[in-house]
Amino acid sequence: MSRHESLTKLKPVSKSDYRFLYDLLKERNPRANISHKKMPTYRQHVSFISSKPYSKWYVILYDTSKVGSLYLSKQNEIGIWFIDDSFHDKLANYAVKQLIKKNPRKRYLANVSPLNKKLQSFFVNIGFTQVDLSYELMSD
């Protein structure tokens, strides 16, 4: 096990993580995001987390620092976000492996924006295959 792997832990999301998750959400590029186009208010964000929208939701810790978030949806979709791309490169593979080990399923999915080439490559590199391509029409 590498030093990075041994220092990487998944911690279930708790109320003490709400602000961190909100700050993480603020850093996401809306053009490369498929889950939201408009930044919610903090109150909306807390309401969303409190609704327990995912089967499992973790904060990714590196040593004692919160560096990202990882979830498994009720449809077995994996979502992953890091506060800094340098952490993504070092820790994402191990964090996803931990999630899979903690939550065995027959099948996992990952919905990735067509604009997020880096995340697409990440999932392909860890063994995922492309199975779908979605389209959206927004009306006024």
* Residue 63 covered by a domain: yes
Residue 136 falls inside a structural domain: no
Domain housing 17: 3-125
Q: Domain for residue 101, yes or no?
A: yes
pTM score of the predicted model:
0.86
List the CATH number of the domain containing 117.
3.40.630.30
| pLDDT tier for residue 33 given thresholds of 50, 70 and 90 | low
The answer to the question of residue 133 being in a domain is no
**Is 97 domain-assigned?**
yes
Q: How many domains does the chain contain in total? A: 1
More confident residue, 68 or 28: 68
Question: Three-state SS across 20-40?
Answer: HHHHHHHHCCHHHCCCCCCCC
Q: Residue 21 has what pLDDT?
A: 96
pLDDT in tens, 54-110: 999 999 999 999 999 999 999 999 998 887 777 777 788 899 999 999 999 999 999
| pLDDT value of residue 117 | 87
91, part of any domain: yes
Q: What value does the mean pLDDT of the chain take?
A: 88
pLDDT at 108: 96
Q: Is residue 132 part of a domain?
A: no
**Helices 85-102 and 117-125: angle between axes, nearest 10 degrees:** 40
Q: Determine, yes or no, domain membership for 38.
A: yes
Query: For the chain, what percent of residues have pLDDT higher than 90?
Result: 57
- Which of the pair, 3 or 122, is modelled with greater confidence? 122
User: Which of 54, 48, 52 lies closest to 80, judged by CA?
Assistant: 54
